[in-house]
Amino acid sequence: KGDSGLSEINLVKRQVSTLEGQLRALQSSFSKYKQVITFPNGRIVGEKIFMTSGYEGNFESLKQRCSQAGGQLASPRNAAENTAIHQIVALYNKPVFIGINDIQTEGRFKYLNGENIVYSNWEPREPNNDKGAEDCVEVYTSGKWNDKSCGERRLIVCEF
């Protein structure tokens, strides 16, 4: 079994090399495809894609729409993600609701999964829970955050 073992190895090496080429082609094609689908209404940050459909509605309605599309309401966890959302807000010149609220406990802002927020970008003097009725969070056209009544209608941005 001296020789057939070696040719078997060489066969597998050729198969690996073919697959490496195919993987590179797939990666390149996938990268281009992502650029295409995010033009002009989406932004890519790391593994996340942020995208608006242009729809406007109250917090519950936006939450449902994102989830129905297989994503969730955009939930910025760092400055880079907030910048991506801010760019979409600026493109439409319309503030958005994000996936953060203090519905459960006043003053304790959480993501939709119940985790306490790890990043914030509040406007000075916010959150102020104006009239005791502001449990949702909008991103202003400045990129800064304001707590706002969940019943207001805002632009949708989902993350996938």
Site for ligand 293 contains 135 (CB under 6 A):
no
Site for Ca ion contains 159 (CB under 5 A):
no
Site for Ca ion contains 130 (CB under 5 A):
yes
Tell me, rounded to whole angstroms, the distance of Cα 39 from its chain centroid: 15
Q: Select from 18, 22, 104, 128 the one that contacts ligand 293 (CB under 6 A).
A: 128
Site for ligand 293 contains 121 (CB under 6 A):
no
Kind plus residue range of the DSSP H or E element containing 48: strand 48-51
Amino acid occupying residue 115: E
- Taking each continuous run of H as one helix and of E as one strand, the counts in the chain are 3, 10
Asked if 121 and 31 touch (Cβ cutoff 8 Å), the reply is no
3-state DSSP call for residue 72?
strand
Using CA atoms, how far residue 123 sits from 31, 87, 98, 120, 140, in Å, is: 36, 17, 15, 10, 9
Output the smallest distance, CB 121 to Ca ion, in A: 14
- Choices 39-47, 66-74, 122-130, 151-159 (CB under 5 A): range interacting with Ca ion: 122-130
Site for Ca ion contains 121 (CB under 5 A):
no
Site for Ca ion contains 135 (CB under 5 A):
no
Structure tokens at 118: 């790890």
Q: How far is the C-alpha of 131 from the C-alpha of 93, rounded, in Å?
A: 26
Output the smallest distance, CB 149 to ligand 293, in A: 8
Site for ligand 293 contains 126 (CB under 6 A):
yes
- Choices 7-15, 30-38, 57-65, 122-130 (CB under 6 A): range interacting with ligand 293: 122-130
Residues that bind Ca ion (CB under 5 A): 128, 130, 134, 146-147
Residues that bind ligand 293 (CB under 6 A): 126, 128, 130, 134, 146, 148
